[in-house]
Structure 1
Amino acid sequence: MNNRYFLIVVLSACMSAAVAQTSILLTGEKSGSDTRVKVSNYQVGHVGDQTVVSLDFVLDSLFVPSNRYRAFTPIIKTKDGVHEQRMKTLLVTGRTQEIIFEREGIDPLYADNCVKVRRQKGEPQTYKYADAVESQSWHDGADVFVECDLCGCADRLKSDMAYITSLLPPDPYELVEYVEAVPTHAKKERSLHGSAYITFVVDKWEMKPDYMDNRREIRKITDTLDVMVADPNITVREIKIHGWASPESPYKHNEMLANNRAKSLTEYVKGLYNLPANVFAPAEATPENWIGLRAAVEEMDEQTLPHKQQILTIINKVLADLDKNVTNQADRDELSIRSKYPEEYRYLLKEVYPGLRRSDYEISFNFHDFTVSQAKEIFKTKPYQLSLREMWDVANTYEQYSPEYNQVIQTAVNVYPDEPEALINLANVAMHQKDLLKAETLLKRAGDSAEADQARGVLAMLQGNYAEAERLLNAAASKGLNVSKNLEALKQLQ
């Protein structure tokens, strides 16, 4: 190549529509002079409906004779050369050439679309270039060059082309905005339920912890309470015990047994702990457990219970009477089963009735509220003690979408699998990680809030369903959410 022209040396090129981290050096040697130009900080991309090229021409080492000029023209060009679009030309002139342009006009190749700057001889000099043209469909995937005319002759055949970067389609993952769903502050009220099968001496209600399997059954209640009482972050709010008796004795007798046995168990548990007396709710009881009997019979096949349907009819009649507070028919109906179907009754008495005699317990408690720093520590070992809002606060002590942030957001869904805010925030993480299937699954259960609509709109955008994305984003906007950034992103993608 004639040494009048630049020899193009590419130091490093950024291959995306992002800010360049390195520079491209256009160098050429002209006898006795250094004619280098550096291109740096280049950005190529889409803004709205325009394609924008901005870059810095560093002219520190460029030599321009007083009566000459150098021309630099960014050009967008398809790889097959079919399409080409010239952008504004930068003319770097010497002092005399600047005067000539003012008197005689600029060369026709550049006259209609150029900007002039005079080279300050021997001085550091940078020109910040920017130009925008209407976006064309063929721009995506095209290359961006800088045409270098160093002879100042406006002859493209004598100009060289320096590759800058490729103009990539807009990356939707970089354009969209993920909006967090902020959980509200809520009381951390919880409850645990269970059943203990305490055995009492026939027709007695005295609590005997060492009788039969009672010690094991009592531990169902006490093991839970032991953990709660020992944990400074838990306050036991209420303990309820509800007793059930089987229906083989007279109803009034069963009523007396069930009530007294429930009271006996309540008093026994109360004596084991130094808890306020009002924590223990008054004992309750259901004299005869016809509900449990019906459930058991419904599960049986007719080979085991040939008269299953007839027995169910009697049971349903008893339950209908009890719903009306009619208790004087229960004994007669129980006798009807015993007399009409004696073999099946004996089977029920042996295999089903023992399980109907039980004590249901409910322990209600609160987790204490935590500061953010306390919550971070609690999260490491007992995340279930945090409210959804506390988890969200912990997550936001980390950089968004960092591994630590993502772990907290995932744990929030593990602990609160049905909370829309937790599902939306994890869906945002999934979309950020390009796991659209996971995001779609989560958002199916995320409710109909503005944040849910926006998240679904972003998902539709990432899936290329732009009409649905627009509908969902507008729905979110109608509910008061600012979706302007995502609507702008949608406009760029369409």
Structure 2
Amino acid sequence: MKTIYTFISQSFSHLPLLGRGLWRGCLFFLFSLSLGEGWGEAVAQNYKGLAFVEGREFREVGDSLYISFDIRVDSKASPNCGSVIFEPQISVDGGGPQLSLPYIQLTGRARANLNHRWFTITSDEWLSHYEAPRFQINADKYTNEMFTYSICVPYEEWMDNSRFSLKQEIIGCRGESRLYVYSLANRVELSPRIPYEVNPLVSMVEPEGEVKTRNRQGSAFLDFQVGRSVILPEFRRNPVELTKINDAISGIADDPDIQITGMTIEGFASPEGSYKSNDKLSYNRALALKEYIRDRYAFPDALFTVKNTAEDWNGLKTLVEESNLEPKADLLAIITNDEAPDARELRLKRVNKGIPYKKMLLELYPDLRRVEYRVDYSVRNYTLTEAKEVIKRSPEHLSQLEMYKVAEDYGKESKEYRDIIMELIPRYYPNDPIANSNAAALLIRNKEYQSARRLLERAGNLPSAWNNLGVVNLALEEYEQAEAYLKQASSAGVQEATHNQEELNKKLEDTEKQAKRNRQ
């Protein structure tokens, strides 16, 4: 019964140098193909005996070139005192690149014995330069048996147009040699080119700690008796307006985690009547609200800042712009000029016989008569356990760092993590570069590139944002912009950007290879 021998392809890094350099291979599956009639046949001229080459693999798979063929010899494939060397070779016609692969050696009985004796007496120096064959076959011993040669080498671009040949050197008993070359494949079998899929990394940045200063503000449209500045809690709209103020202040004053640091109250009057009287009226009404709050909550007097705007011309400008009053352009020209307030009011009364002014008195001026307040306060810091509870009821009390820590504690794959990073933090820190860049990073992972870009445009000169913008450009095949942003981020020390530059280079190289292959 015929026995089939196969040889496993191994690393050649341990083989000695002998003119062709150091071989590096990879593990490879083996073929034992029998294709019927041999398509490559090596025949020596001065001796009887044959060596048949059957079956072959010469194809690209991924980043490697796979080569395999079977060689079958009979008992007289090599002269008794000589040898036959087969050297596989990859080359390009016209003097292009070429690559010689580890060789196969067939020996006759006498030559095999001579070789054995030589290796027992030769020096270590000679052995250190000896390049062993891939495998060696004693022709008289392995009669009519099949040997499989298989190897893989790193694939290079020039191999797209390469051919696979087998050089045969027959060495006779007196050292004479004859050389034959057999073509085994005229072209490499190319695998379908799948475009390289980049694997970019987004940058997430941990926010810095902060002193948590907050403020709460609002407007009160209080009604006062004519010529008076005393707040009457039950007068007209005052019950509703005072309730809004009390609710705002109580929510802060009653919270043990909060310390009120200041309160600013500003009174405003409409441009009706003399500027001097309006200046006094607006200040006194602000002072009245200050006294009301101080008495109700027993706040120290030093906590308050009281100021006033005698006539709110800026507010009037805004209201007129939003109204349907005509002639609007003439009214705005008067409102925004540099004349004294009383002179402007007089001119407004004369426009179109005073009709627009009367309408302003009824529809716009009441909204200008108000008292605005702002409560400034600070919030204590929380432990992670506390922050996980506070985020459910009063997320505005947390710093961005505290929210970020809570998100991380839930885990990056959790819904809570995504909700906090993408929605909650940007809601309370809408203009913060880190908040916008981190939210954009998660949008990129969801392939929402345009939404991510809009957030990153608000992130300013944050290096992590440059990296994330580069990732957006890379995903959208905007390679020049991607290169610029990634280079900028890498120079600033963003490690992800260095990785992404490598991914960009791989993508550009792959795109160029694909274009060249399509042109062939």
- Both structures adopt the same fold (TM-score exceeding 0.5): yes
Give the CA deviation at 1:433: 3.0
Give the CA deviation at 1:212: 0.5
Query: Out of 170, 178, 197, which is 1:171 matched to?
Result: 197
- Counterpart of 1:490? 504
Task: Trace 1:39-188 onto structure 2 (pairs within 5 A).
Answer: 77=59, 85-86=65-66, 111-112=102-103, 133-136=154-157, 170-173=196-199, 176-188=200-212
Paired residues of 2:217 and 2:374 also in contact (CA < 8 A): yes
Q: Secondary structure at the match of 1:397?
A: helix
- Counterpart of 2:236? 212
- Counterpart of 1:295? 318
Give the whole-Å Cα distance in 2 for the aligned partners of 1:389 and 1:76: 58
Is 1:448 aligned with 2:428?
no
Please give the TM-score of this superposition, normalised by the length of structure 2: 0.60
Query: Out of 466, 470, 473, which is 2:483 matched to?
Result: 470
Is 1:392 aligned with 2:404?
yes
Q: Partner amino acid for 1:86?
A: Y
> Structure 1 unaligned runs (5+)?
7-34, 38-51, 58-73, 90-102, 118-129, 140-164, 322-328
Q: 1:429 to 1:354 in 2, by over 3 A?
A: closer
- Counterpart of 1:334? 345
Query: Out of 236, 252, 259, which is 2:260 matched to?
Result: 236
Q: 1:84 to 1:213 in 2, by over 3 A?
A: closer
- Counterpart of 2:384? 372
Q: Partner amino acid for 1:385?
A: H
Cα deviation per residue 1:114-143 (whole Å; 9 max; x = unaligned)?
9989xxxxxxxxxxxx9751444999xxxx
Q: Partner amino acid for 1:455?
A: N
Give the CA deviation at 1:213: 0.8
Q: Secondary structure at the match of 1:284?
A: strand
- Counterpart of 1:361? 373
Q: Partner amino acid for 2:197?
A: D
Give the CA deviation at 1:414: 3.1
Paired residues of 1:245 and 1:356 also in contact (CA < 8 A): yes
Is 1:271 aligned with 2:283?
no
Q: 1:106 to 1:379 in 2, by over 3 A?
A: farther
Cα deviation per residue 1:48-97 (whole Å; 9 max; x = unaligned)?
xxxx996699xxxxxxxxxxxxxxxx978359xxx9923699xxxxxxxx
Q: 1:394 to 1:115 in 2, by over 3 A?
A: farther
Give the whole-Å Cα distance in 2 for the aligned partners of 1:461 and 1:271: 62
Q: Secondary structure at the match of 1:260?
A: helix
Query: Out of 431, 447, 466, which is 2:444 matched to?
Result: 431
Is 1:382 aligned with 2:394?
yes
Give the CA deviation at 1:270: 1.6
Is 1:194 aligned with 2:218?
yes
Higher CA-based Rg: 2
- Counterpart of 2:284? 260
Paired residues of 2:449 and 2:472 also in contact (CA < 8 A): yes
Cα deviation per residue 1:124-179 (whole Å; 9 max; x = unaligned)?
xxxxxx9751444999xxxxxxxxxxxxxxxxxxxxxxxxx999664313xx2222
Give the whole-Å Cα distance in 2 for the aligned partners of 1:299 and 1:258: 25
Q: Partner amino acid for 1:352?
A: L
Paired residues of 2:203 and 2:465 also in contact (CA < 8 A): no
Paired residues of 1:241 and 1:361 also in contact (CA < 8 A): yes
Q: Secondary structure at the match of 1:361?
A: strand
Q: 1:190 to 1:248 in 2, by over 3 A?
A: same
Give the CA deviation at 1:225: 1.3
Q: 1:206 to 1:478 in 2, by over 3 A?
A: same
Give the CA deviation at 1:200: 0.4
Query: Out of 422, 425, 430, which is 1:410 matched to?
Result: 422
Please give the TM-score of this superposition, normalised by the length of structure 1: 0.63
Q: Secondary structure at the match of 2:272?
A: coil
Q: 1:293 to 1:447 in 2, by over 3 A?
A: closer
Identity %: 30
Which has the larger displacement, 227-236 or 265-274? 227-236
Paired residues of 1:75 and 1:85 also in contact (CA < 8 A): no
> Structure 2 unaligned runs (5+)?
9-23, 30-55, 70-81, 89-100, 105-131, 136-150, 161-190, 509-520
Q: 1:85 to 1:478 in 2, by over 3 A?
A: closer
Paired residues of 1:75 and 1:84 also in contact (CA < 8 A): no
Q: Secondary structure at the match of 1:405?
A: helix
Q: Partner amino acid for 1:172?
A: V
Give the whole-Å Cα distance in 2 for the aligned partners of 1:447 and 1:137: 45
Give the whole-Å Cα distance in 1 for the aligned partners of 2:486 and 2:279: 61
Paired residues of 1:87 and 1:133 also in contact (CA < 8 A): no
Cα deviation per residue 1:351-403 (whole Å; 9 max; x = unaligned)?
33222211111222223222333323322333332222222233333444444
Give the CA deviation at 1:467: 3.4
Q: 1:268 to 1:84 in 2, by over 3 A?
A: closer
Is 1:245 aligned with 2:269?
yes
Paired residues of 1:76 and 1:84 also in contact (CA < 8 A): no
Give the CA deviation at 1:420: 2.0
Paired residues of 1:88 and 1:115 also in contact (CA < 8 A): no
